[in-house]
Amino acid sequence: MVHDAHFHTDEYAFLAFLAQHQIQGIVNASSSQEYLRLSAWQKQLEGIQISAGIHPWNSDRISWEEMRPILEQAAIIGEIGLDNVWCDVDVLKQFEIFERQLAYASKHHKPVILHLKGMEKEALPSVRKYQNQYFIHWYSCDAYLDEYIALDCYFSVGPSIYKDRAVQQVAKSVPLNRLLLESDGISALSWCENRQVQTSEYLALMKRSVAYIEALKGHRNMEAHLNQNLMNFINYTKNN
């Protein structure tokens, strides 16, 4: 069965759909309110983990003090990072919040989900500075891939793999034991397809991504490999 290593949702029905189909996954909370809502839903479901962190898009409006109690509760920190493509938040502010969260996660042995867009080079020194287990979601940059592979990062393949050469290169280059699969949520699937995707289409689209990875890597049983990788990432805190 497929997994979903990183996604967003504000609908209980979607989480219930994943649970019904026994899909393991990590849902992201980017605010304290969202974390509390997802936590309440999580109690009624199996297989869903919650990550929490101040997204770079929110780093000028959600404070460290506001999010700190949520980071203490969350087993996985993220998504956090840097972005100069899809947001205009001051880069210095992004770096301030990014480094505080990296330092906290490293100190408390909590794995991290990274959002890097247009700032892949600039983020490298910070990621190297704070030893941890990192998972870069939907990496789609032609450069610096080898540097992040050398840091033993996990990489999730986004749903644009069927049309995005950079994402295809990630799937080809990343070691099999460091690959993950993600949807980023129904809205991201809709963005990739350039139409409104229904929840009923979710499994077919995710399996399409698995088939592309399998063809690029030349390995069978890809779902089993990807699922084991997700469990290894989630269990990082327990093992360190």
Q: Report pLDDT for 238.
A: 59
Q: Is residue 19 part of a domain?
A: no
Q: Is residue 26 part of a domain?
A: no
| DSSP H/E element including 164 | none
Q: Is residue 10 part of a domain?
A: no
Q: Is residue 199 part of a domain?
A: yes
Task: Give 191-229 as a DSSP string.
Answer: HHHTS---GGGHHHHHHHHHHHHHHHHT-S-HHHHHHHH
pLDDT 10s digit of each residue in the chain, 240 long? 789 999 999 999 999 999 999 999 999 999 999 999 999 998 888 889 999 999 999 999 999 999 999 999 999 999 999 999 999 899 999 999 999 999 999 999 999 999 999 999 999 999 999 999 999 999 998 899 999 999 999 999 999 999 999 999 999 999 999 999 999 999 999 999 999 999 999 999 999 999 999 999 998 899 999 999 999 999 886 565
The total of structural domains in the chain comes to: 1
Smallest CA-to-CA distance from 223 within 24, 1, 23, 47 is with 1
Structural domain boundaries enclosing 176: 53-239
Q: Report pLDDT for 175.
A: 96
d(CA 81, CA 210): 26
CATH of the domain at 123: 3.20.20.140
Q: Is residue 16 part of a domain?
A: no
Q: Is residue 42 part of a domain?
A: no
Spatial contact of 102 and 112, defined as CB atoms under 8 Å apart: yes
Q: Is residue 46 part of a domain?
A: no
Q: Is residue 173 part of a domain?
A: yes
d(CA 51, CA 76): 5
